[in-house]
Structure 1
Amino acid sequence: MSLSVPSAEPALVARLRADLERAAYTVDSVEELLGPLASAALGREQVLPAQRVTASAGTPLATLVRLFTLGDPVDASEAATALPELGVEGAGRLGLVRQEGPGVVATCDLRPYADEDHQWWVASDLSELATRAPLSPDHVLGIGGASTTLASWTPRPRVERALDVGTGCGVQALHLASHASSVTATDISERALAYAAFNAELNGSDWELLQGSMLEPVAGQQFQLIVSNPPFVITPRSPEVPLFEYRDGGQAGDALVADLVRSIGEHLEPGGIAQFLGNWEVVGDADWRDRVSEWVAGSGLDAWVVQREVQDPAQYAETWARDGGHHSATREFATMYAAWLDDFASRGVSAIGFGVITLQKPVGEREPFLDLSEASGPVQTPMGPAVLAGLRARTWLAEHTDDELLSVAWSLADDVTEERHGRPGEADPQVILLRQGGGLRRVVRVGTAGAALASVCDGSLPAAAAVTAIGSILEVDEESLRAELVPLLRALVADGFLV
């Protein structure tokens, strides 16, 4: 049964905004209130430490956390103190709370959210932490790991038109509004769009909201930036598995993500960028790159795909069987677990990859570039600036010859360091590594010539002259040295070691 959603009535939302500002209902203030122990526990989906802290604090901020984050009943007088402009009656008219005995309980989750430069509030359906029950199929998800990952990885150039595909409660649209003149957001869920409308009003944004599946509502339109946290979860077509709208796109296997890769190009302006998350299946002992490259082939788009994680079918089944609030000791969990394993076995799936897909529509006629890589460790936060720099570097490389590459006087990026490892007492190192402090935090092993090239990249000497000098010093044929160093040079430029 569907629950209600908040109303976006402007006058009442303005009063709510004033109350949230007065209570300092921000990410930093909530973390300070809860302290490190309760904050960390809440991140592990354990509410008791946060309940203990907020129950005795007696402040409007603590009341808002108890009400809208923890889902605890709050005395009506406390709610009125925390919401002096809106009032309990106004909160009820907005659809944020309902009466329960002498107090009120929240009917939605409403919490602060922020990036490095902006503060927002985001409303969504109550989580299973608050309801203490499994989620409903039409649940509208709030701020989660996938949405924050996508937000971190999205490049943010100034653009005129941006699109958020499968917006949910509007998290990505909030980010887009900070650097796009107009934002369009689509979702198949009417409830999700109602939450997005409320969040836009609460945060002073104005988005075009269109109902429909994926890209269908924007047929014939093009954008400079498209982002999507799509319903990419690979879900069995089985009556034993609930089909949550926020994670299941209604297709078998990884077909939804494949279709998005193949179709998104017609909605990009030349030079436009698409950024989204995805899962892909690995069959047998195949390489994941083979599958993803098939999706990109023939699209005419540049593609840079970074695989961040790999799970075997059992791990994947366990993750998503738990996701809706079903615990591993229940019969429902076991039934869903088996359905996932059967589904993967029917296609011979041996692993499932998760990663970030960045696509770009080339400007003019040239061969699109394809870069499929892996980065499972920590990366720069946010990653968006590094993604944009990496796209521009790869675009430049795709548009220039090796001779033009060698004509540039490259500089070693400030975050690059060199490590040399050898056996004690030996003069020459056995291993030389270039380590990147930002971006994907790559580590590249180089030989003597590669280390020499990196050492002279200070912006004063064209790479061709450096290769000539290194060849002379090492007494190596210049042509063979060039054949060795040009691929390395391209890789270092692409990943931001050289700028």
Structure 2
Amino acid sequence: MNDVTDPTTDRRRTAELVALLRADLEATGFTVESLEALWGADAAAALHRGERVPARRVLDARRTGHGASAALATLAELFVLGLPVPAADAAGALPSLGLEGATRLGLVAREAGGSSVRARLDLRPYAFTDAHGEGHWWIVSDLGELALGGPLGEQHVLGVGGASMTLSGLMLPTPAEHVLDLGTGCGIQAMHASRFASQVVATDISARALRLARFNVELNGIDGVDFRLGSLFEPVAGERFDRIVSNPPFVITPRVAGVPEYEYRDGGLVGDAIVEAVMCGAAEHLRPGGVAQLLGNWEVRDGDDAFDRLRDWAGELEYWIVEREVQRVTEYAETWIRDGGTRPGSHEFDRLYEAWLDDFERRGVREIGFGYVLLRRGAGRALSAHGARLGRIERRHGPLGASPGGLGVHLAACIAAHDRQTALDDRALSETRLTVAGDVTEERHHWPGEEHPTAMLLRQGGGFGRVVELDTGLAAQVGACDGELTVGAVVSAIAQLLEVDEAALGADLLPAVRAFIDDGMLLLPPDE
């Protein structure tokens, strides 16, 4: 019997069946919005916690009806909850594809006796909003813990998770000709990249992952994706790209016997070496001006600065690295042992916990950092006196600002602003007219009855949600950035008002102005 994971499946017949499946899903209205409306907020919240009973109770009642609502309930119970449904109901929910077609695609299998069917793959809707607008797809992946009723297999192909949504939101939305998705998994990053790229190459070490990724691309009518099998950069040796995106298998797992290694999260290397390999390998695969973006974990070791290691890995490339979170090794071990489906309180959990802590102790690791990495190959511009080279490492452990189109829009704007402002010497910057970004507000705090503020804060509503403390001079400088006065004119006026030396004040304020431009809080005039 043919299967979506079977490479011998006839491609033409498979394409026909996938088209029939797409027609059935469209006719049923199998969307995120429809499912949320079907089972309600409480059941949706329970599903996010890994509990399906509330949703099942709703669906049992809905599935006994007729029409699209009953078909939607059947598909939800079968593919999202992973529960068996009567074969007649499944056939009714997939009238074009039919049970034979669904079986041929590897989506379902009949239970013993043949009166019911059970999903063999997870199939669910996915909705998103990016710089190009709203979109929705259907994503096929391997069944999760909820449907399996136990731990995941080591060759498990993960669907859309929190990390994958984070990376897709970080992608620079600017057009690119040639994009590499390194370690594509179910194909979600390649699909997002297709919205701004002419051609996408998607690689993975797992042949099964590539087959599921190809299925997802075909199911959603996406063109221009080339799938290649192999580890890291091996499938693209000698090639260069405008953009590289990667959600690598960065989980730091003990390399000892008896500890499962999951292909979707474990790169097979010791410690954080997989992130090192991706960062170091990006240099020879980026075109001039090309950008690599990835997620990663890095170890914080005794007597060692993790950020120094990250700088070394970036090598000749420009970089912007943001650490979003740090976990103690105990928290980290618990998180990923649970992720594999092993529950606390069991002998197996304790055994794995010991193995993880032994591994960290041997290498002097006390914490694990998680964050975003952006690397860029310089386009050959000469460095200005203000250092056109992008080189930032920062901790942003708090909440981010509101970015409806994704954080990638903000990143792209900040990088473009950085390149423009570093090309200006202090005289040219002083002749520039700046404006305050529309999402930036100022807060002033006073002691009751006092005229002068005790604290002044500049707060960014979008992007990284930065909050910057202001002194009197800087508050006046930002407040006067209305697009009418030049930076230099404002500095002169403030110097007169405060009765201080103008040159000294300018030397103090201009670096802060440059930083605000880099962070998207002050805007340069449109580039003519």
TM bracket (short chain): over 0.9
1:338 aligns with: 354
- After superposition, the C-alpha distances for 1:179-212 in whole angstroms (9 at most, x for unaligned) are 1111110000000001011111101123100000
TM-fit CA distance, 1:4: 6.8
Residues 4, 105 of structure 2: 8 Å contact kept: no
Matched, 1:264 2:282: yes
For 1:270-309, what aligned pairs fall within 5 Å after superposition? 270-284=288-302, 286-296=304-314, 298-299=315-316, 301-309=317-325
2:150 aligns with: 133
- After superposition, the C-alpha distances for 1:50-88 in whole angstroms (9 at most, x for unaligned) are 111111112111111111111100100000110000001
CA distance in 2: counterparts of 1:387 and 1:44, whole angstroms: 32
TM-fit CA distance, 1:376: 2.2
SS of equivalent to 2:248: coil
Distance 1:423 1:404, change over 3 A: same
Distance 1:398 1:345, change over 3 A: farther
Distance 1:395 1:240, change over 3 A: farther
TM-fit CA distance, 1:479: 2.2
Residues 254, 280 of structure 1: 8 Å contact kept: yes
Residues 312, 352 of structure 1: 8 Å contact kept: yes
TM-fit CA distance, 1:15: 0.3
2:263 aligns with: 245
CA distance in 2: counterparts of 1:146 and 1:468, whole angstroms: 48
Which of the numbers 464, 473, 491 marks the counterpart of 2:515?
491
RMSD: 1.5
Overall identity of the aligned pairs, in %: 50
CA distance in 2: counterparts of 1:391 and 1:211, whole angstroms: 33
2:427 aligns with: 403
- After superposition, the C-alpha distances for 1:100-143 in whole angstroms (9 at most, x for unaligned) are 03100000000111212111111000001111111111110111
CA distance in 2: counterparts of 1:24 and 1:293, whole angstroms: 48
CA distance in 2: counterparts of 1:343 and 1:406, whole angstroms: 55
1:468 aligns with: 492
1:62 aligns with: 73
1:385 aligns with: 409
- After superposition, the C-alpha distances for 1:164-186 in whole angstroms (9 at most, x for unaligned) are 10000101111111111111100
- After superposition, the C-alpha distances for 1:288-337 in whole angstroms (9 at most, x for unaligned) are 433322222x32x2211111111000000000111111101222211111
Which of the numbers 91, 95, 117 marks the counterpart of 1:104?
117
CA distance in 2: counterparts of 1:156 and 1:141, whole angstroms: 24
1:113 aligns with: 126
- After superposition, the C-alpha distances for 1:237-286 in whole angstroms (9 at most, x for unaligned) are 11131011111111111111112112202211112111110011111265
Residues 417, 435 of structure 1: 8 Å contact kept: yes
For 1:182-201, what aligned pairs fall within 5 Å after superposition? 182-201=199-218
2:163 aligns with: 146
- Residues 285-294 or 473-482, more deviating: 285-294
1:329 aligns with: 345
2:5 aligns with: 5
2:95 aligns with: 84
2:219 aligns with: 202
Residues 60, 82 of structure 1: 8 Å contact kept: yes
Residues 282, 291 of structure 1: 8 Å contact kept: no
- Residues 237-246 or 16-25, more deviating: 237-246
Distance 1:340 1:395, change over 3 A: farther
TM-fit CA distance, 1:404: 2.9
2:329 aligns with: 313
Give the letter aligned to residue 271 of structure 2: G
CA distance in 1: counterparts of 2:515 and 2:60, whole angstroms: 55
TM-fit CA distance, 1:478: 1.6
CA distance in 2: counterparts of 1:344 and 1:44, whole angstroms: 29
CA distance in 1: counterparts of 2:504 and 2:331, whole angstroms: 47
SS of equivalent to 1:392: helix
TM-fit CA distance, 1:16: 0.3
TM-fit CA distance, 1:400: 3.3
CA distance in 2: counterparts of 1:433 and 1:47, whole angstroms: 45
- Residues 198-207 or 369-378, more deviating: 369-378
CA distance in 2: counterparts of 1:81 and 1:153, whole angstroms: 40
SS of equivalent to 1:118: strand
2:34 aligns with: 29
CA distance in 1: counterparts of 2:146 and 2:475, whole angstroms: 53
The alignment of Structure 1 onto Structure 2 pairs a total of residues equal to 495
2:373 aligns with: 357
Residues 204, 228 of structure 2: 8 Å contact kept: yes
For 1:13-24, what aligned pairs fall within 5 Å after superposition? 13-24=18-29
Give the letter aligned to residue 514 of structure 2: R
SS of equivalent to 1:325: coil
SS of equivalent to 2:158: coil
2:67 aligns with: none
- After superposition, the C-alpha distances for 1:24-51 in whole angstroms (9 at most, x for unaligned) are 0111111111210011111111111111
CA distance in 1: counterparts of 2:355 and 2:420, whole angstroms: 47
- Residues 268-277 or 164-173, more deviating: 268-277
Residues 369, 398 of structure 1: 8 Å contact kept: no
TM-fit CA distance, 1:397: 3.4
CA distance in 1: counterparts of 2:492 and 2:431, whole angstroms: 12
SS of equivalent to 1:122: strand
2:66 aligns with: none
Give the TM-score normalised by the residue count of structure 1: 0.96
5+ long unaligned stretches in structure 1: none
Residues 240, 335 of structure 1: 8 Å contact kept: no
Residues 279, 355 of structure 1: 8 Å contact kept: yes
- Residues 335-344 or 20-29, more deviating: 335-344
TM-fit CA distance, 1:5: 2.7
CA distance in 1: counterparts of 2:362 and 2:107, whole angstroms: 45
Residues 162, 226 of structure 1: 8 Å contact kept: yes
1:39 aligns with: 44
Matched, 1:424 2:435: no
SS of equivalent to 1:119: strand
